[in-house]
């Protein structure tokens, strides 16, 4: 390039700069423009960062809020579980109290006194020989062998073996169980035999000339020396009269739902005044 031309450009540029500088001193336009453009540039740079900061802060706040809500929900769930358990416990207690009150309302037969007991176990295992339940009364509380056991619906059985604090009750349905009964309406006498769990009861020794009908309630006759007279035992389900036999074929079903027993009554003979009188009086 021609050195003279370069020098001309440099001199022209210097004059242009001096003129522009002088004009800016008088007007200040370029200074204000540079300030505004600089601020805008800084703002353009900082604005995304500010938005990102606000977004991150909002995210953290929402996260902490969600964590708090989750913890609060967990606490509410645990509280609901506790309230449900408490409600079930209170309902169970109320039902147990109602059953006990119903038992205690059972009238005592003359010369007998009643005592409540809880069923703590049913017969254990499929190979158990006897149809039994276990109650929380034993010899220490006055329970002994052949003590009658019943509930508000009727006879359950009798104590078969008594320990110090618990006793085994031989159920009405056991094959070795025998109960002397009589029809409540027609007064036909017989003896109920247990036939095992889930089986009908057999009512034996009911004479052909006796009057007994299905649905009749059988009550204890007191002739066996174990149960007081008049306790409900079973309901007659079928009656068959066959030629060539002395007795009718009678079947019955227990009045008690033995599988769902939770509380029972023990009947004990009341002590008579003469029983406590000294022998030499």
What mean pLDDT is predicted for residues 211-229?
Answer: 93
pLDDT given for residue 196 in this prediction: 87
DSSP-H helix ranges across 213-252: none
d(CA 267, CA 250): 28
pLDDT given for residue 82 in this prediction: 74
DSSP state of 255: S
DSSP state of 246: S
Give 246-257 pLDDT, tens digit per residue. Answer: 899 999 999 998
Assign 244 a pLDDT band (cuts: 50, 70, 90). Answer: confident
- pTM for this prediction: 0.60
Residue 40 has pLDDT above 60, yes or no: no
Please name every residue paired with 178 in a beta bridge, in sequence order, or none if there are none: 193
DSSP state of 223: T
d(CA 112, CA 265): 12
Residue 245 has pLDDT above 70, yes or no: yes
| Least confident interval from 101-105, 173-177, 191-195 | 101-105
Assign 114 a pLDDT band (cuts: 50, 70, 90). Answer: confident
Q: What is the mean pLDDT of the chain?
A: 78
Please name every residue paired with 119 in a beta bridge, in sequence order, or none if there are none: 135
DSSP structure string for 152-191: SSSEEEEEEEE-SS-EEEEETTSTT-EEEEEETTT--EEE
Give yes or no for a contact between 142 and 149, defined as CB atoms under 8 angstroms apart: no
Give yes or no for a contact between 192 and 178, defined as CB atoms under 8 angstroms apart: yes
Residue 220 has pLDDT above 50, yes or no: yes
Give 116-160 pLDDT, tens digit per residue. Answer: 899 998 875 454 567 889 999 999 988 899 999 998 899 999 999
Residue 23 has pLDDT above 60, yes or no: yes
pLDDT given for residue 280 in this prediction: 41
């Amino acid at each position: 390039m021609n050195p003279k031309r370069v020098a001309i450009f440099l001199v022209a540029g210097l004059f242009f700069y001096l003129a522009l500088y002088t004009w800016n001193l008088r007007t200040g336009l370029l200074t204000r423009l540079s300030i505004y453009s600089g601020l805008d540039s800084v703002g353009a740079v900082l604005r995304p960062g500010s938005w990102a900061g606000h977004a991150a802060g909002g995210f953290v706040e929402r996260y902490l809020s969600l964590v708090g809500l989750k913890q609060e929900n967990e606490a509410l769930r645990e509280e609901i579980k506790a309230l449900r358990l408490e409600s079930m416990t209170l309902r169970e207690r109320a039902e147990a109290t109602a059953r006990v009150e119903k038992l205690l309302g059972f009238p005592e037969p003359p010369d007998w006194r009643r005592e409540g007991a809880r069923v703590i176990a049913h017969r254990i295992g499929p190979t158990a020989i006897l149809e039994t339940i276990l109650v929380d009364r034993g010899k220490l509380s006055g329970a002994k062998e052949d003590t009658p056991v019943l509930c508000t619906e009727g006879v359950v059985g009798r104590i078969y073996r008594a320990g110090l604090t618990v006793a085994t009750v031989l159920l009405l349905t056991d094959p070795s169980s025998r109960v002397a009964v009589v029809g409540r309406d027609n007064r036909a006498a017989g003896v109920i035999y247990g036939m095992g769990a889930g089986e009908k009861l057999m009512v034996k020794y009911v004479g052909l000339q006796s009057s007994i009908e299905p649905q009749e309630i059988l009550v204890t006759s007191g002739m066996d020396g174990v149960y007081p007279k008049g306790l409900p035992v079973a309901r007659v389900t079928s009656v068959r009269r066959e030629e060539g036999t002395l007795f009718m074929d009678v079947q019955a079903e227990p009045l008690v739902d033995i599988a769902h027993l939770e509380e029972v009554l023990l009947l004990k003979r009341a002590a008579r005044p003469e029983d406590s009188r000294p022998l030499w009086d």
